[in-house]
Copies of this chain bind each other. A is one copy, B any other.
Amino acid sequence: MAFSDLSSADATAVLEPVPRNTLRAQVADRLRAAILRGDIAPGAPLVETALSERFDVSRGPLREALRQLIEEGLVVTVPYTGTHVAPLSVEDVHEIYSLRTALESFAFEQVWPYRDDRFRTELNRRNAALIAAVDAGDDHASIQTELEVHGLVYEASGHRLLRRAWYGLRGRLQLYWAAHHLAHGRHGPRRDSHDSYIAAALGDDLAAMRLEIANHMRRGAETTERFLRKPNPSEKSKRGDKT
């Protein structure tokens, strides 16, 4: 319930414990970035030997990095057979957004009485960054900033398990948004959609916020599902290579 750290892009994040750098973490970061950037398409095979040689690491750390991405829902594997980037499916979209509705409502319930000036300022700051990115037509930045806007309530909740659950959803969400971006050059959110979301988040009516979340998610799910059913207008698919 208490605040933990609202600062992320702020310069306030010093004095935190130094992150231990292991190879598996670096490999996971790089591989995650490659997948979310669309360099490796959903469904494409991920061969351990090829990847380990490409990253110039042995298969040990690489395997552990893969396990991490499996947890995040970006990768799927079947023993002795093969590993692939997670394929996209409409069922997943539905599950992601419906569960996200429940989690985000719960998160706001937790935070509701504790939305101090710091919270409001930070929310406005992140929203401004989102608007700027959208107006600038920077799709990558708009995806990132939208995740940061929605991520704030999870961070502010100080609820570690909730935050963890959010991370489990965030990667999957990114995967779909990235695919959408690659196909259409623009991902879902409209400015006014977020304006009402922010207004409700700063307002006094928790029930209204719940409703706003439900609507926001319904719109998001619809947009993403529609995209999935007719993936791209120009058929410019990415290849899932490895060397």
Contact = CB atoms under 8 A, between A and B. Distances in A.
Interface in A68-98: 68, 71, 78-80, 91-92, 95-96, 98
A108 to B, nearest CB: 11
A103 B98 CA distance: 11
Interface stretch (A145-153, A157-165, A184-192): A157-165
A176 B51 CA distance: 40
Interface string A20-58: 101000000000000000000000000000000000000
Query: Chain A at the B interface: mostly helix, strand, loop or mixed?
Result: helix
A199 interface: no
Interface stretch (A59-67, A113-121, A130-138, A202-210): A59-67
A231 interface: no
A162 B159 CA distance: 18
Contact of A168 (B64, B78, B79, B164): B164
A99 B64 contact: no
Interface residues of A, number: 31
A155 to B, nearest CB: 15
Contacts of A20: 78-80
Contacts of A79: 20, 22
A47 to B, nearest CB: 18
B159 A99 contact: yes
Interface string A96-111: 1011001101100010
Contacts of A91: 160
Given A20-B80, A22-B79, A79-B22, A99 B63 contact: no
Contacts of A198: none
Nearest to A100: B161
Contact of A160 (B71, B95, B110, B159): B95
Given A102-B102, A161-B168, A164-B168, 6 more contacts: A20-B80, A64-B64, A67-B68, A95-B162, A98-B106, A102-B106
